[in-house]
Amino acid sequence: MVESLFSVLPIVIIVFILCLYISPMQPDLLLTFLVGAMMLIIGMGLFSLGAEQSMTPIGNQIGTALTRTKNLPLILAVSFLLGFAITIAEPDLQVLAQTVPHISNTVLLITVGAGVGFFMSVCMLRILTGMRLRLLLIFFYAIIFLLAFFADKNFLGIAFDSGGVTTGPMTVPFILALGLGVSNVRSDKNAEADSFGLVALCSIGPVLAVLILGFFYKDNAAVADLSTASYGTTTDIGYAFLHAIPHYLKETAIAMLPIIVIFFLFQFTLLHLDSRNLGKIMIGLLYTYIGLVLFLTGVNIGFSALGAELGAALSSGKSVWWLVPLAMAIGWFIISAEPAVAVLEKQIETVSAGAIPGRVIKRSLSIAIALAMGLSMIRVLTGISLFWFLIPGYTTALILTFFVPDIYTAIAFDSGGVASGPMTATFMLQFFMGASIALGGNVLQDAFGVVALVAMMPLVSIQLVGLFYERKQKRTKETTVVYGDYDIVELWEGEHAK
């Protein structure tokens, strides 16, 4: 719960400062935002606790049990179903699906789920065969950008945003645990390294799937509607939240049902967990369910409305370029407080045997996300195509893979999912959409894409950090060590010489 509080608190403080001193908002809208923030904090806390207690062990147990069957068609088929099921329940994706105006929620969810499911199978095949991650990344990103040149421009930003939001608090723990469970069966020295990179590959699936959808899906006449409700009294605000909860109770139950069914099929056939472990997982699933309901209710009723209104209000002045440093400041504080960043810091410190300090990782991510937010606001203000940022960014990231050890490449591409956390998909996307509408821009082409840039920038920053410290470590090894007069090693050597 504390991690959720510190994740949401910076954006709440920034919004309060903006609303009180720079761009006044209606009191009912600000109060709704506060109630939504409280629900978001509680929901994310319960959700994170539940996902750790249920999704992680489910993924690990199923991954290990699947691999021991040594049945490749079964492994690939179940991996597809698991990837599909876990993606449908991802809260960040559900928020994005409800935001996209010209694609049906169900169609987008199924498309993205299918993309993740396919690449879950690719991930399992890679772990079992030991294929190089670099080659897969280059191959699939080449296909992505080839398709992107011919795809509908209204689908471009949404496609890349879909890749960022799928790697959220539900999907990442499950995918990592599933990969670790599969790699545990292997005994070679590369097994642990190959368990990284799953998030990177699964992020590719939604991008490809939505780009392909753009060639066939023609129901794109709708436009973004950011109209907000007005609440006369505090009672009206309370009723708005209460009326939304039953809707999200139903939606969340439908979203989580497939993964629960798959788990119980494995429980009765391969796992046979004892009642104590099974009880822990069931309690975890309950926490996950309640947390997800509170999260979605708080976001859609409280956060989205104020984000859009604030973006529109701040863009109505004569000088709008100050929004670029403002967006960068918000990006800096959002990623600094993101709970998943702490997990990434520990992961890299472990892999590098402490050679890369955690604070360096946090600082590099803060710079990367601040730049991503600034570039996103420049796109809103100028209408520059997303291509002008994605092509140089991904080209640089892929070139760096030839100079950086594979483990750092895998962690860097995984970190894109860490950076594009709940605040980016919920508040910031709405903020950019409101600014785009106020400036008379094309929301689909100018506002969507912020999650894509946030997910892309760490690919470069983490690899650069890895490259710097790898070279620094090599230089240290090549340097001749001079011992002091009172060094124990020197005294031992002198005694040994006698």
Q: Is 18 exposed, middle or buried (0-12, 13-18, 19+ CB in 10 A)?
A: middle
Please tell me whether residue 117 adopts helix, strand or coil conformation.
helix
Q: Do the Cβ atoms of 220 and 158 come closer than 8 Å?
A: no
Is the separation of the CB atoms in 8 and 338 below 8 Å? no
State how far the Cα of 43 lies from the Cα of 287, in Å rounded to an integer.
9
Report the half-sphere exposure of 414 (CA within 13 A, side-chain side).
28
Q: Spell out, as residue ranges, where the chain has pLDDT lower than 50.
A: 490-491, 493-498
| Confidence (pLDDT) at 206 | 92
Residues in Cβ contact with 252 at an 8 Å cutoff, skipping those fewer than 6 apart: 89, 289, 292, 293, 296
CA within 13 Å, CB half, 49: 16
Place of tokens 């109630």: 35
Name the token pair of 402. Answer: 């030839």
CB 298 within 8 A of CB 38: yes
Q: What is the tens place of the pLDDT at every residue in 282-316?
A: 999 999 899 888 988 888 888 777 888 888 888 87
Task: Compute CA 254 distance to the chain's CA centroid, rounded to the nearest angstrom.
Answer: 22
Query: What is the C-alpha to C-alpha distance for residues 132 and 145, in angstroms, rounded to an integer?
Result: 21
Question: Among candidates 46, 11, 44, 49, which has minimal Cα distance to 369?
Answer: 11
Task: Name the phi and psi angles at 408, rounded to 5.
Answer: -75, -35
* Residue 433 neighbours by CB distance under 10 Å: 27
pLDDT of residue 498: 46
If we measure between CA atoms, which residue out of 294, 331, 365 comes closest to residue 14?
A: 331
Q: Report the C-alpha gap between 358 and 429 in whole angstroms.
A: 28
Q: Distance of CA 468 to CAs 92, 269, 360, 398, 444, Å?
A: 33, 49, 11, 17, 38
Q: Which of 102, 108, 203, 11 is nearest to 443 (CA)?
A: 102
DSSP state of 18: I
Compute the CA torsion angle 341, 115, 386, 152 (nearest 10 deg). Answer: -160
Q: What is the pLDDT of residue 495?
A: 46
Tens of pLDDT along 359-373?
A: 788 788 889 999 999
Spatial distance between the Cα atoms of 217 and 247, rounded to a whole number of angstroms: 27
Q: Are 72 and 151 in contact (CB under 8 A)?
A: no
